[in-house]
A and B are shown apart, each in its own frame.
Chain A
Amino acid sequence: MAEKEQLLEEMRKAVIEFDEDRVKELANRWIELGYDANEAIFEGLAAGMEVVGELFAKNEYFVPEVLMCADALYAGLDILRPHIKAEDKTETKGVVVIGTVEGDVHDIGKNLVKLMFEVAGFEVHDLGKDVPLEKFVEEQLRTDADLVCLSAMMTTTMPGMKKVIEMLRERNPNVKIMIGGAPVSEKTVEMYGADATGKDAASALEEAIKMVSSLREMKRRKEI
């Protein structure tokens, strides 16, 4: 038991210190000892990333540091994921379509949010960057996604999000829509008719989980 806690603590630390090799070593050790992969993902990797988010919010870490932490997290995830128990795999938290809107080629923020969704067990369909607006609608219909996440890093591409939201609402009024990016604020959410924004990847995830569970609840009631 003590060793397990020790390993998790070290895993968190290695993510925070963006020590990719150390994360790999610890993840392998975890699997060798036969512990639950899911526990390491949540209590080790994701918990470490949460601290990274706090450091970012406090201006101790900046984007380069966060990117390196994300790399460390991915390194661990690659090792742990194949060992997730079958019963943990069956129920995904929700289906997400994510992408950066047309005209915008920034994808760092989008990729971080995507990473958090993956860690949390969402099924993620990543459309990439500079995505034609209609593509979001098509992909939502194709995958029956619960949630569509739109990203824009510049004021000059933000208005594209409004168009996507209108198109999505028209086709599927129930879908939840989250928007994010440097110029996006609570006011933008209201102005564009989105459901939420997250000021960073961790709070985006928190919002997403809330939205998807309320959506599931709604669907369930309809079925009854």
Chain B
Amino acid sequence: MTPKERVMNTLEKKRVDRVPAFSGMGNVTVAGMRKHGIDFASSHADARLMATLACSTYELFRFECAVVPFDLCVEAEALGCEVNFYAGKSSILYPTIKTKVLKVGEELSIPEDLLERGRIPLVQEAISLCRERLNGEVAVGSYVLGPFTLAGQLIDLNDLLKSSFKKPAQVKALLEQLVEPLAEIANSYAESGADYITVREMGAPSDVISPRMFKTLVQPYLKETIARIKAPTILHMCGDTNMLVEMLNECGASAISVEQKNDVAATRSKLGEEAVILGNLDAYGVIVKGTPGEVEQAVKQAIEAGVDGVMPGCDIWPEVPEENMHALMQAVEKYGAR
């Protein structure tokens, strides 16, 4: 089986020869940057560099995907936010939103030519380049934010969270407005050749808002966004998702992805065998800071707990030791046979 077949079959709940190890999120490594002489800050603004880096994790370690972009600002940038790329910084920093463009209650104007805005065309191009380079052997992934998380990029978080409680109708109106643009962006990625799309709704775990608020405020728009995406989808949420997994599963994505705070065995028994569950490696504490032995243990535990695909719970921090990436892949081969 090729890595791509393994990943796509997993998302479609079809037979695989072993559990795949891949991500719906960023997974570039310093090893990849060194190999190609690419610095992180410039990779966000150049499709060729972005694609080269995205493919390098597979080429170096056989990690079974290539995912672009690497930051969480693409949609907000296209909607008018200014982004800080931290150009010229020696350390690795992910781009952040510099200026918020909206307050709760204000009307958001969505440009008609949204798909031409910001770096959306660049991400589309990077997807096509990944596809060319990997020649159908490896799945190409991309991602968009969920409506609530995107709202948190556009609006001051304090304002958004308090308003979610005090003025839910206004927040709902905004989230509703974000559904179509997000789906359009995701579908344009799929048309460019992305095999699967992750929807990252990491702003809404139960460390932040109540399960009740998730149900009334977040879930309806998440569901709608996912329903409109014409590609296999992964719904990812980091943080504490133990109280939310049934609701996440109801959102209708091909798979759900959770991090280390999730008790996967419990999740599996709640959701049953049909659900596709991906996770739940600690992307920093174990993959980056652990020993190769600890990485192996974490992979083994995730598989035993019942994941269909071994996936880091967040973007892999690029300074991951090479031996840990190798340990991850070896462990999947050792314990993941089906």
Contacts and interface: CB of A to CB of B under 8 A. Distances in A.
Interface of A: 59, 62-65, 67-68, 71, 102-106, 108, 111, 130, 154-160, 163, 182-183, 185, 187-188, 191
Contacts of A59: 206, 210, 243
Contacts of A68: 162, 165-166
Interface stretch (B89-97, B223-231, B297-305, B327-335): B89-97
B93 A63 contact: no
A155 B207 contact: no
B208 A62 contact: yes
Contacts of B207: 63, 182
B94 A65 contact: no
A105 B154 CA distance: 13
B208 A187 contact: no
Interface residues of B, number: 31
B235 interface: no
Contact of A67 (B161, B206, B285, B315): B161
Contacts of B42: none
Interface string B142-176: 00000000000000011001101110000000000
7 contacts: A63-B207, A63-B208, A64-B162, A68-B162, A108-B157, A156-B94, A157-B93
A96 B110 CA distance: 43
A185 B260 CA distance: 13
A63 B209 contact: yes
A155 B209 contact: no
Most buried by A among B206, B239, B284: B284
B287 to A, nearest CB: 10
Contacts of A163: 91
A187 B239 contact: no
Nearest to B153: A105
A160 to B, nearest CB: 7
A64 B284 contact: no
Contacts of A111: 158
A119 to B, nearest CB: 19
B86 interface: yes
Interface string B288-312: 0100000000000000000000000
A62 B217 CA distance: 14
B162 A159 contact: no
A155 B96 contact: no
A78 B208 CA distance: 27
Contacts of A105: 96-97
Interface of B: 84, 86, 89, 91, 93-94, 96-97, 157-158, 161-162, 164-166, 206-210, 213, 239, 243, 283-285, 289, 314-315, 317, 319
Contact of A62 (B94, B97, B158, B210): B210
Contact of A157 (B94, B164, B289): B94
B284 A65 contact: no
Given A62-B206, A62-B209, A130-B84, A67 B162 contact: yes
B91 A155 contact: no
Contacts of B209: 62-64
Contact of A64 (B89, B93, B97, B164): B164
A160 B90 CA distance: 12
A191 B289 contact: yes
Given A155-B317, A159-B317, A103 B161 contact: no
A160 B158 CA distance: 24
A105 B164 CA distance: 20
A112 to B, nearest CB: 11
A154 B92 CA distance: 13
Contact of A104 (B96, B164, B206): B96
B158 A67 contact: yes
B157 A102 contact: no
B213 to A, nearest CB: 7
A103 B94 contact: yes
A199 to B, nearest CB: 11
Nearest to B159: A67
A156 B317 contact: yes
A105 B315 CA distance: 17
A187 B285 contact: yes
